[in-house]
Each structure stands twice: as C-alpha cells, then as structure tokens.
Structure 1
Amino acid sequence: MRRILPLLVLIALAVAAFVLLHGVGWDDLARHQGELKDWVSAHPIASVALYLAVYIATVALSLPQAALVTVSGGFLFGAVLGTMLTVIGATTGATILVVVVRSAFAQLLDRNRHRIPQRVQVRLARDGFSYLLAIRLVPLFPFWIVNLACVVVGVRLTVFVPATLLGIIPVSFILSSIGSGLGTILAQGHKPDLSVLFSPHILLPLLALAVVSLLPSLLRRRPNAGV
C-alpha cells in the first residue's frame, strides 16, 4: 500500500486538476496578461518558484496544458530564462512521475521484464541515453507516453534524467521564444501557432540532431551486426 499510495495521490490530483483547469486556454491568458506581467515584475523570486511548481505539477500529473505553460514561461520570463525554468520543471516532474509509477508497479514490472527480448535489454542498457535523447529531441512523441514507456522498459534514472534534460532544450526554447512575443499576438486577438514545430525548417533540424545523437549507438553496432 505504501508503494501504491503516491500513485493514487497523483491520480487524484490529476483528476482534480483536469476538472479545475478544463477550458483554461489562450483567452484566459490574454485577459490576464497585464496582471501576470505586473505580478512577475513585483515578485521575481516568488514568480519563478511558483512557475517551477506549476510546471512540475503539470508534468508529474500529465496534464494537457504543458504547451500553454511552456509558452507562458517565455511570455513571463523571456526566452532564455523561460527555457531554463521549463527544462528544470519538466525534468523534475517527469522524474517524479517515473519514480512513483515504477515504485507502484515494481513487482509487476520485475515479473514481466523477461518479456522484453534480451537483445533489446542489452541495447537499452548500452545505448539507452542515445535512444531517449533522440526521442526527446523530436516533438512527435507525447511527453507523458515516453515517460511511461521508460518505466516499462526499465530505463535507469541515471540515463532518464540527463537525456530528458538535454533532449527537451530545443523544443522548450522554440516554444519559449514564441512566448516572448506572445503579448503582441494576444493583443491582436490571435493565438500562437504551435504547429510551427512541425514545419520543415524546424522539424528537419531536430530530426538531424536526433540522428546525430544516435550515431554512437549506430557506430558501436557496426562491428557486431548480430548484437
């Protein structure tokens, strides 16, 4: 019960947050953007701490408002600081989720670990960092699904944390940069176009980075094609 209790708490908080935040979006940010900016200016340290807490909770609870919070970080703190806070918050929240879920299902996961082919387990142990980094770099895979997949395949925290932290920097910076110009967009009555992440001039460089991150594992496999 001690293992499952933290997971039950997360689930209860996620349900409550989903109900409370249902419908919250860009219109709400547009209405309160002046007040938010003023509060951040008047309380710089408290606003940073609050943003980190909100982001950690958003990721740990796998809430759908993560993109909204990321863009808001760029709007409130600028592209650079917004990116730093987002990366720290997202990595911390994802780590909390992984630890809680892994603890809750430790026995079940251990009993079924043999179902993962031995070759896959060997590659994950050897090249898990490269694989996870490549996945994080490309915004095609839902963040929370990757988190849970890492639990299932048994990615170690010593791999999960640095690969997540480094892998989410590019997309976080892009969204924070969009957020830094959000005031003008909202003032004109528009909403930010986040589909820019999937435009060729953004997606192709990210795919290239993902391929580069996989090169060490690909080069190691060449002499031992059968491994």
Structure 2
Amino acid sequence: MPGAVILTLAGGFLFGALAGTVLAVAGATAGAVLVFLFARAIFGEKALDRFGERGRKLAEGIRRNAWSYLLVLRLVPLFPFFLVNLVPAFVGVRLTVYAVTTCLGILPATAVFALSGAGLGSVLDSGAPLELRSILTPQVLGALCGLAALSLAAIPLKNRFQRAE
C-alpha cells in the first residue's frame, strides 16, 4: 500500500472522516505543489519540449487541456503519482491550475480512505472482538461502496481521456 493511503487511513482513524479528509487533502496538495515547484525550478517549464517533435506535441496538448488532463490523471490512476506531479511542471502548466486540479482530483479517494479509517476506529472503540461482521459496519461498507463507485467512474473518464488523444 502506498504511504499516502496508510496516512489517510490513520487520519480518518485519529481525527474522524471529515477532519481526516481535510488534513490529508491539504497535506497531499501542499506536498504535490512543492514537488511541482521544485521540478519546475530545476528542469524548467519547457523540459518536455527537449524530447523533439513528439515531446513538443504532448506538451502542447497538456498545456491546451490542462484542466481536463490533470483532473482525469488525478481521478483515474493511469500513471504513477510521481509522474502526474512532475510532467505538468515540465510542460508549463500554471501553478493555480495544477494546485486546484490536484486538490479536487484527490478529494474523492481521500474521503473514501479517511471514511474507512474512521470506520475502523469506531470498530475498535466498540470493544467488540475483531471478526468480519464487527468490521463491516455501515461506515466501512459505505467506504467500500465509495471505492467501488470510484473504480466504476474511472471507466468513462478513461474512455474520454483516450478519445481526447
């Protein structure tokens, strides 16, 4: 499991679903923005253009449709998270576009994981023995349904993303 998932589960467990979500989204967005700024400072806004015509075309497509691309890339895990943090810096995406799409794009999954952590917290607080029926509380089931819904929502988003190319 990626570290962010564990930290988000822990945030939901320690602070509840709402505060855990807010804190995790704020921390993840701030961290992503710092990586973005660092990459831009080191490599420059036109780094992808150095890869020839194909790199220039990709960079131009991302710049032209930055809102759509970045939201889809955050909502649908098509590419590793570190690439989604770095590539926008390499093509000259505006910082505000990057920060807003990062925040909005990670919000749904973060909320689901924080809700899961809060659900596990309520199970442990109950003092009941840890067995399947005590773990599958309405809160945990709601979080699992949320993950399923996010997975299903990814299908039309992925199709739209592929058509845009």
User: TM-score surpassing 0.5?
Assistant: yes
Alignment CA distance shift 1:158-1:94 (3 Å)? same
**Paired position in structure 2 for 1:203:** 151
Distance (whole Å) between structure 1 residues aligned to residue 145 and residue 53 of structure 2: 36
Distance 1:99 1:126 in 2: 20
Contact 1:76 1:82 in 2 (8 A): yes
Partner of 1:138 in structure 2?
Answer: 76
Tell me how far apart the structure 2 counterparts of residues 93 and 79 of structure 1 sit (CA, whole Å): 21
Report if the CA contact (8 A) 2:48-2:59 is conserved: no
**Tell me, what secondary structure is at the counterpart of 1:124?**
helix
Runs (5+) with no aligned partner, structure 1: 1-24, 26-63, 222-227
Could you tell me which residue of structure 2 aligns to residue 121 of structure 1? 59
> For the Cα contact (< 8 Å) 1:137–1:207, is it kept in 2?
no
Task: Say yes or no: does 1:90 pair with 2:32.
Answer: no
Q: In structure 2, how many angstroms separate the alpha carbons of the residues matched to 1:88 and 1:178? A: 18
* Structure 2 gap ranges (5+): none
TM-aligned CA deviation for residue 97 of structure 1: 1.0
Contact 1:137 / 1:168 at 8 angstroms: preserved in 2? yes
> May I ask how many residue pairs the two structures share in their alignment?
152
The equivalent of 1:188 in structure 2 is: 130
Q: What is the match of residue 154 of structure 1?
A: 92
Shift of 1:71: 0.7
TM-score w.r.t. the length of structure 2 is 0.71
Counterparts in 2 of 1:72 and 1:140: CA distance versus 1, 3 Å: farther
Q: Which of 35, 39, 46 is equivalent to 1:101?
A: 39
Structure 2 vs 1, CA of residues 87 and 122 (structure 1 numbering), >3 Å: closer, same or farther?
same
- Higher deviation after alignment, 198-207 or 144-153: 198-207
Cα separation, 1, equivalents of 2:160 and 2:64:
14
- Choose 1 or 2 for highest CA Rg: 1
Task: Provide the C-alpha distance between the structure 2 equivalents of 1:142 and 1:175, rounded to a whole number of angstroms.
Answer: 19
CA distance in 2, matches of 1:121, 1:107: 10
CA–CA distance in 2 between the matches of 1:131 and 1:202?
17
Partners of 2:63 and 2:91 within 8 A in 1: no
User: TM-score when scaled to structure 1?
Assistant: 0.54
5 Å-filtered alignment, 1:1-227, equals 64-106=2-44, 109=47, 112=50, 114-183=52-121, 184=123, 188=130, 200-208=148-156, 210=157
Give the distance between the partners of 1:86 and 1:141, measured in 2 at CA. Answer: 21
CA distance in 2, matches of 1:111, 1:138: 25
Identity of aligned residues (%): 36
